[in-house]
Amino acid sequence: MLSKKALLQIISQNSASVELHCSGAWNHDTIDEAKKQLLSLNKNSNLSNILFDFTGAEVFDSAGMLLIVETINKNVARGVAVTFINMLPVHQRMLVFYRKHYVSSNNAHNVEVPNFFERIGKTVYDSLNNFNAFIEFIGQSVWHLLLMFRFPSRFRFDALVKHLHSSGFQAIPIIGVTSFLVGLVVAYQGSMQLQKFGANIFIVEMVSISVFRELAPMITAIVVAGRSASAYTAQIGTMKITEEIDAMRTLGFHPFDFLVLPRMLALMLAMPLIVFLADIVGVFGGMLVAKMQLGLSFAEFIGRLHTEVELKNIIIGLAKAPLFGLLIAAIGCFRGFQVTGSTDSIGTQTTVSVVNAIFWVIAINAIISVMLTELGV
């Protein structure tokens, strides 16, 4: 049945009228030729009468029937009389049905594509709106934090513990390995240069100051941003789409108390602890390279660490950690609340959340680094 073609034969034709015989199967994969013939018929301007004879027309699918409907409509619209004979009752009903539901392709909806300037304007406007919304979000978080100090019973201790475990404790292995490798690489590259000057011993300051002040907090923050900012956005976004957040509100649970504050506090608490671990592992990586490449023993390394590297380096690194934690959690949660409508939006917001979190961690770290150096700290 499917192999049959839609046949359209012109039985008789004079200048004003034409008789057509349609037979075979009129399906989406068989109507190509019939369509071309009908199109050329539509262009014939002398026509005043068309007669369709459907003897032997077996099957119509929507594409086939719509082709007939389109031909009829176009010709009726330009004043050509169209008649059909010998149509099976079931096909007649289909024809009536499709004529009722036919939409001419002329009134197709055109989507307007915004021009270049319109797009720039829209992007700027959206970014400003987004920024305002983020500031508002931070404000709300602080307000709820203050409320929590006033009414400690609002504090969700079990949620905090849960997030400490999933965002902090479970991140330890990957952050440990990453910092170890970074410490190793920095020491390795540094030792090559220092050896040229015979300044082997300075590997201690080089590795430990850069790890303590910059690398450990940054690596930790980037890994945590990748793990937790995405998780927070996806969790909160899903809850928003499934109306769980609305359900919480109607039950009188404020989403900030239940969702945002535990996550923020968890990261602010967990970050310094993980950074401290990353400090140790990173410097250990450096120590290994110092021993292997420069022949500096562990005892010598640690001895020089005590005398030459000031405690403030560790403190600066650890002090940045809660700030990064707050930033990551705030961006992750904020993006979660920005999810609207469809599941598609969860993906978009999760991407934005991770990119924003990593970018702001790096940017703020750079600002702090420059500020402290200029201040001579």
Residues that bind another protein (CB under 8 A): 28-29, 61-63, 66-67, 70, 90, 93-94, 97-98, 100-103, 105, 107-109, 111, 340-345
CA distances from 339 to 119, 344, 349 (A): 22, 9, 7
Please say which residue, 41 or 224, places its beta carbon nearer to another protein: 41
**Smallest separation, CB 107 to another protein (Å):** 8
Please say which residue, 58 or 300, places its beta carbon nearer to another protein: 58
The alpha carbon of 186 is separated from its chain's Cα centroid by a whole number of angstroms, namely 33
- Count Cα atoms within 13 angstroms, Cβ side, for 377: 14
* CA 254 – CA 154 distance, rounded (Å): 10
Please say which residue, 11 or 96, places its beta carbon nearer to another protein: 96
Task: Give the helix, strand, coil percentages of the chain, each rounded to 5.
Answer: 75, 10, 15
**Smallest separation, CB 89 to another protein (Å):** 11
Q: Which residues make Cβ contacts (< 8 Å) with residue 278, sequence separation at least 6?
A: 175, 176, 178, 179, 211, 216, 217, 219, 220
Please say which residue, 105 or 153, places its beta carbon nearer to another protein: 105
Please say which residue, 25 or 271, places its beta carbon nearer to another protein: 25
Radius of gyration in angstroms for the set of CA atoms belonging to the chain, rounded to a whole number: 36
**Smallest separation, CB 93 to another protein (Å):** 6
CB atoms within 10 A of CB 365: 19
Q: Strands 17-26 and 6-13: what pairing?
A: antiparallel
Mapped onto helix, strand or coil, the DSSP state of residue 252 is coil
* CA 348 – CA 356 distance, rounded (Å): 12
In which region does residue 56 sit, left (phi positive, over 0), alpha (psi from -120 to 50) or beta (all else)?
left
**Smallest separation, CB 181 to another protein (Å):** 38
Please say which residue, 344 or 374, places its beta carbon nearer to another protein: 344
**Smallest separation, CB 57 to another protein (Å):** 16
**Smallest separation, CB 4 to another protein (Å):** 16
- Whether residue 356 contacts residue 328, with contact meaning beta carbons closer than 8 Å, is answered with no
* CA 263 – CA 269 distance, rounded (Å): 10
- Whether residue 324 contacts residue 245, with contact meaning beta carbons closer than 8 Å, is answered with no
**Smallest separation, CB 350 to another protein (Å):** 15
**Smallest separation, CB 336 to another protein (Å):** 17
102, two tokens? 């036919």
Please say which residue, 270 or 346, places its beta carbon nearer to another protein: 346
Please say which residue, 26 or 212, places its beta carbon nearer to another protein: 26
**Smallest separation, CB 35 to another protein (Å):** 8
* CA 286 – CA 181 distance, rounded (Å): 9
Please say which residue, 53 or 70, places its beta carbon nearer to another protein: 70
